[in-house]
Copies of this chain bind each other. A is one copy, B any other.
Amino acid sequence: MLSFTEENYIKAIYHLSDAGQLAVSTNDIALHLQTKAATVTDMIKKLANKDLLAYEKYYGVSLSKKGKTTALYIVRKHRLWETFLVKKLGFQWDEVHEVAEQLEHIQSNLLIEKLDAFLGHPETDPHGHPIPDKNGKVKQVKQFSLSQGKNGSKYIVSEVKDGSATFLQYLAKYDLYPGVTIQIKEILPFDGSMIVQLQNKQKITLSKATSENILIKNNE
């Protein structure tokens, strides 16, 4: 059984490696976990001994099969809890992350399977992130940045990239959540901002930076 700390390392490496694809450097991990490189070196040695990752001195780490499975389960727990907090307890979507950071470490398979069922086996969390299933399978959605959308087209918001509370609160003001349909009404060339129409017909202007952080999918 892994400690909270070990679990946090595995999850950090998973995210930093883009779902276990690339190798991750000591410094990247240290930065992400707000710790020091020397600490990371010690920890990755330990995780390598547990066969959760492959470690090549001076060249970073990459998750093993076992490491990926472990990471996916932690991500599954994190996202199920976030969904619970928003859907059942009435949290705002910008309030859930820190709590889920704690809840993701609770050890009980029964709990997670029952929670999953209670939530109706959701496929995405409140931020549109896919929830790995019981077997660690992640449903991939064909999505792209709103900044790449075409003028006049309708799309469904699928995910938000920036998870900061301020950004989430800003989007919440317009009920701009994953699942809602929007239409691009105008794209302003000089600064890349765009005017989009919301479900309630209201039109709002989104900066380039904002539209880049909203992912959308086609509205078939």
Contact = CB atoms under 8 A, between A and B. Distances in A.
Interface residues of A, number: 18
A17 B108 CA distance: 30
Number of copies of this kind of chain in the complex? 2
Contact of A106 (B103, B107, B118): B103
A101 to B, nearest CB: 10
Interface in A74-105: 85, 88-91, 95, 98-99, 102-103
A48 interface: no
A115 interface: yes
Contacts of A95: 110
A134 interface: no
A107 to B, nearest CB: 7
A116 to B, nearest CB: 10
A171 interface: no
A165 to B, nearest CB: 13
A40 to B, nearest CB: 23
A115 B102 contact: no
A111 interface: yes
A114 B102 contact: no
Contacts of A114: 85, 89-91
A115 B99 CA distance: 13
A86 to B, nearest CB: 11
A91 B118 CA distance: 12
11 contacts: A85-B114, A89-B118, A90-B118, A95-B110, A98-B108, A99-B106, A99-B110, A99-B111, A102-B108, A103-B103, A103-B106
